[in-house]
Amino acid sequence: MTLAEVIDLLDRIALVDDRVVKADEIEQEAQVTMWAAVLRDVPLAFAGQAVGDHYASSAWPVMPKDIAERWRLQVRDRLGRSLGTFDPVDHPHIDPDDETGDAYVAALRAQRRAIAGGDAEPVGLRELMPAVGSQLGGGRSVELVPANEAFRAVKEEQYPRRARPAGPPELAVHCPRCGASPGRPCRLPHNDRAMTGTHPSRRDVWDAQQTEGADA
């Protein structure tokens, strides 16, 4: 958040809790600077949501650490769901076998940054390894290998970009229930079949994002 966004956030907080924002002008300036330092990496929309969550469960005035802590947990959760790789289809110019190449490393770093910042959804194992996805539930270990031409061809065949049917809007987000990546159908855990509908929690994630967008 920028200084201006922190001021915006504090203005909003002042509407619901008059204990937070300092009345004295000099104190207020110091407060804004301090909040901006603590919340430097936190997007304004997330901070607004975190303030709401805080007051939903606490009678104490919100502190910047309350917001930073929620952001830290979310980043950890998002990175925890990521495999530390990227979808080669998104980076056709990068040789996926060249793991030490500058472009490969840069793409990985950008992907981690985007996931941490909420700009990208974690790449799920299922979509990267469609051919072996059904084996994962069976307790057998699968050796992860970097994608190559053959993999890309198989993937393109299984998920042709243009022929993908337009489904419900929540397909645009990652499914927290079965782990399907954006644009991919939800799958039943017991037989790995693609569902015609989606998991309700995926719909919730989509709904939440729409509300977030409307508030911001």
Asked if 214 and 187 count as a contact pair (C-beta separation under 8 A), the reply is no
**Phi and psi torsions of 187, nearest 5°:** -130, 145
Report how far apart the first and last C-alpha atoms of the chain are (Å, whole number): 13
Concatenated DSSP letters of 49-105: HHHHHHHHH--SPP-HHHHHHHHHHHHHHHHHH--S---GGG-TTS-TT-TTSHHHH
Interface with Zn ion (CB under 5 A), residue total 6
Which is closer to Zn ion, CB of 28 or CB of 201? 201
Distance CA 68, CA 42 (A): 7
Which is closer to Zn ion, CB of 52 or CB of 137? 137
Which is closer to Zn ion, CB of 91 or CB of 177? 177
CB of 111 to Zn ion, least distance (A): 22
Per the structure block, which two tokens stand in for 49? 């949501």
Per the structure block, which two tokens stand in for 142? 């699968």
Kindly tell me which residue out of 13, 199, 205, 206 binds Zn ion, with binding defined by CB under 5 A.
199
How far is the CA of 41 from the CAs of 20, 52, 84, in angstroms? 21, 19, 21
Which is closer to Zn ion, CB of 155 or CB of 184? 184
CB of 50 to Zn ion, least distance (A): 26
44 touching Zn ion, by CB under 5 A: no
Span near Zn ion by CB under 5 A; candidates 1-9, 41-49, 145-153, 168-176: 168-176
Distance CA 22, CA 5 (A): 17
CB of 165 to Zn ion, least distance (A): 16
205 touching Zn ion, by CB under 5 A: no
Span near Zn ion by CB under 5 A; candidates 41-49, 65-73, 157-165, 199-207: 199-207
Give 24's DSSP letter.
S
CB of 179 to Zn ion, least distance (A): 7
125 touching Zn ion, by CB under 5 A: no
Span near Zn ion by CB under 5 A; candidates 36-44, 99-107, 156-164, 195-203: 195-203
Interactions with Zn ion, residue window 170-189 (CB under 5 A)? 175, 177-178, 180, 186
Which residues in this chain contact Zn ion in the complex, by CB under 5 A? 175, 177-178, 180, 186, 199
